[in-house]
Amino acid sequence: MLRINRRSVLAGSVGLAATGALSRPYIANAAATTATVWQVQGFFPEEDAAFKKVVADYEKASGNKIDYSIMPFMALNQKTVSALTSGDAPETLLPQNAWNDTLLDVSDVVETQKSKLSATALDCASYYNNTRKARSFYLCPIKQACAPFHIWGDLVEKAGFKLSDAPNTWDAFWDFFKPMQKELRAKGMRKMFSLGLQVTTVGPNDGNNLFAHFMFANGGVGIVSRDGKLHTDDPKIREAAIRSITWMTTAYKDGYVPPEALSWNDADDNNGYHEKLFLMDFDGTLSTELAVINKDKKAYLEQMVVKGLPNGNDGKPMPAAVGAGGGFIPKGAKNAATAKDYMKYFMQPEVMNENLKNGLGRWVPAIPELVKSDPFWLDPKDPHRATYVTEAVLGPTIPSYNSYNPAYGQVQAEQVWGTCLSDVIKNGMTPAAAVDKGFKRAEAIFTKYTF
């Protein structure tokens, strides 16, 4: 079973067929075997077509067969969780199962491209195995992604503002859009809100990702360190969390965020943006723009604007949280050799690059040299891609903390940070009290995962 993890990352699964030793990767052999692959459905047809092309090319090159299924994200996660019998939420899937020693070590596959892969992709592919008491590679990284800002540039102008005047620090950048709400409502857009702020307790990913970047902006990088330790006892981390919760809940209570944002899932902010329910959003990948590329060229080329991260509130550059996608194989898969062979093929730079280009660039290569050498990635004729690629690959990045410790995946799955927001908005708690409650829950979770 080969799976490619997370909605904002990727999904698939390999295994469950006859075994067959392969003397060389992706070379035709007499003992051809079949691997079963579960793949997440793309956001648009081009992504599914790109995946199918890789499968067809691999089958032709190897003589092996890939028996694949393409499924919607939630259905795929439910099936994968059931197959691995872990019972955990999707956000914890990879690190939790690596911890439990139910995944196959794929270091030999990663090693074929390790020197070329980004440091962040490698971090995202490495997890701690509590049985072996060691960290190793359990994901074969193919692609990576980040969250940029998505802005209706035409509405900024309609409100009488210029996007070029936006400040270049985090809070001030968000604040820049607030007065536009009043101006746009006065011009007939009576249901318009300024901010698509995911103050949600539903998730699974968008609210967690947003909170992570507010923490970065407020000096809270490192709530989890590379050694898997939680640092909620650090006064700087606590202060960053309080400042983050304060700003987000104040923006909501002041009426700049749609009321229903408290219960948004990961698709709701995309839909709201397309309906022009709000002016700007902070969301993973270019799915927001690419969803309309074939339906509304004017919107894609002229009205939508993608912006990378401003500096943190201290004026210094802040990192982008990056997730990596790729394949993983459960322990006991009957045809692990074929699964590894397929991933070795997929991870080749030319295959990786063609697949992601054919998918319209919603994901970027996990090999930085590809975005530098192939003009497609930084093509100035596309209004969005270069900005996105710069944030996701060429700028400072940091891996999702659940790669450091599966405990943080559970923190995210339980929506601990969304609950902090809800405690302030709905239950009248102070930001400090809500943060202390959230930190206490995070600390309890981390006690179950000590290295």
Q: What is the DSSP string of 380-424?
A: TTSSSHHHHHIIIIIS-EEE-GGGT-HHHHHHHHTTHHHHHHHHH
Per-residue exposure over 374-386, b if at least 16 CB sit within 10 Å of its own CB, e if not: beebbeeebbbbb
Residues 240-269 pLDDT 10s: 999 999 999 999 999 999 999 999 998 999
What is the spatial distance between Cα 142 and Cα 54, in angstroms, rounded to a whole number?
12
- Please tell me the predicted confidence (pLDDT) of residue 74: 65
- Say what the pLDDT of residue 166 is: 98
Residue 130, pLDDT above cutoff 90 = yes
Task: Record the pTM.
Answer: 0.90
Enumerate the domain spans of the chain: 34-145+324-398, 149-283+414-446
DSSP assignment of 144-187, as one string? EE---EEEEHHHHHHTT--GGG--SBHHHHHHHTHHHHHHHHHT
| Entry field: residues in the chain | 451
- Note the Cα 291 to chain centre separation in Å: 17
CATH 3.40.190.10 corresponds to the domain 34-145+324-398: yes
**What is the mean predicted confidence (pLDDT) over 318-325?**
96
Cα distance between residue 73 and residue 90, in whole Å: 10
Under the banding of pLDDT at 50, 70 and 90, the label for residue 32 is: low
Cis amide linkage into residue 259, ω under 30° from 0: no
- Residue 320 φ/ψ, nearest 5 degrees: -95, 135
Residue 93 has pLDDT above 90, yes or no: no
Q: Are 287 and 300 in contact (CB under 8 A)?
A: no
pLDDT value of position 16 = 28
Residue 87's CB: how many other CB atoms inside 10 A?
Answer: 9
Q: Which CATH superfamily is domain 149-283+414-446 in?
A: Periplasmic binding protein-like II (3.40.190.10)
Mean pLDDT of 77-84: 64
pLDDT score for 73:
67
CA atoms within a 13 Å half-sphere pointing along the CA-CB vector of 270: 19
**Tens-digit pLDDT profile for residues 173-187:** 999 999 999 999 999
Q: Concatenated DSSP letters for 251-318?
A: HHHTT-S-GGGGG-BTTHHHHHHHTTSEEEEE-SSSHHHHTTTTT-HHIIIIIEEEE---B-TTSS--
Alpha-carbon dihedral of residues 285, 289, 291, 297, nearest 10 degrees? Answer: -160
Determine the pLDDT at residue 81: 60
Please determine, for residue 337, whether its predicted confidence score (pLDDT) is greater than 60.
yes
Q: Would you say the CATH fold of 149-283+414-446 matches that of 34-145+324-398?
A: yes
pLDDT confidence band for 302 (50 / 70 / 90): very high
What single-letter amino acid sits at 132? R
**pLDDT score, position 21:** 30
User: How would you label 148-161 residue by residue, b for 16+ Cβ within 10 Å and e otherwise?
Assistant: bbbbbbebbeebeb
Q: Using CA atoms, how far apart are residues 51 and 342, in angstroms rounded to an integer?
A: 12
* Tens digit of each residue's pLDDT (9 = 90 or more) over 345-396: 999 999 999 999 999 999 999 999 999 999 999 999 999 999 999 999 999 9
In sequence order, what are the residues at sequence separation of 6 or more whose Cβ sits closer than 8 angstroms to the Cβ of residue 145? 8, 9, 284, 285, 322, 323, 325, 362, 363, 364, 392
Residue whose C-alpha is closest to residue 177's, from 198, 160, 156, 191? 156
Q: What confidence tens digit (pLDDT) does each residue in 41-74 have?
A: 888 888 999 999 999 999 999 998 988 888 876 6
Q: What amino acid is encoded at 381 in this protein?
A: K
The predicted pLDDT at position 340 comes to 94
